[in-house]
Amino acid sequence: MQAVDVLEEHLRWQKQERASRGKGKERSPTGRVFTTGSGEPLDAANVRRDSTAIVKKAGLKLRGTEAAEEGDAVA
């Protein structure tokens, strides 16, 4: 399965999910795409922390601000 196929399948699932909730029951009535489970905006510090952990767990090198803060800057 190609990446495009996976994305199209996910889009179909999203449309079905939205339709099953009915009008007025959107997950984020503010229109935000990325929110906490309660619909609040994500905190930037938490996003950076979680992203840094994911990058490290994947064995990748940090780049940019997070790398400088961690002392792992890539030249």
Find out whether 1 and 7 touch, Cβ atoms under 8 Å: no
pTM summary value: 0.45
Tens of pLDDT, residue by residue over 10-47, are 778 877 877 776 655 555 556 666 777 676 888 999 98
Q: Does 59 share its domain with 35?
A: no
Q: Does 53 share its domain with 31?
A: no
Q: Quickly state the pLDDT bin for 67 (edges 50, 70, 90).
A: low
Q: Does 3 share its domain with 36?
A: yes
Beta bridge partners of 35: 41
SS3 (DSSP) at 41: strand
Domain encompassing residue 74: 43-75
Q: How many domains does the chain have?
A: 2
Q: Does 54 share its domain with 30?
A: no
